Every structure is written in C-alpha cells, then in structure tokens.
Amino acid sequence: MFYLVWIVSAFVAVGIGCFVAGKMDKRED
C-alpha cells in the first residue's frame, strides 16, 4: 500500500511542477 502513496505523490509532484513551469513560461511571454 505504501508504494501506491509514493507513486501518487510522484505523479502529483510532476503535475504541479509542469503546471508551475507552464504558468512561468506564459508569464515570460
């Protein structure tokens, strides 16, 4: 069960990272 938590946390971290990176790219433009 613990591995599921790590997998979900990893996906959430990647999603937030991409979301923030996308917003920063838009701000630069």
Whole-model pTM? 0.58
Count structural domains, the chain: 1
Only one residue has tokens 């790219």, namely: 25
Distant-in-sequence, close-in-space partners of 4: CB < 8 Å, separation ≥ 6: none
pLDDT confidence of residue 28? 65
pLDDT tens string 7-28:
999 999 999 999 998 888 776 6
Domain that holds residue 3: 1-29
Only one residue has tokens 């996906």, namely: 11
B/e letters for 1-29, b = 16+ CB within 10 Å, e = fewer, are: eeeeeeeeeeeeeeeeeeeeeeeeeeeee
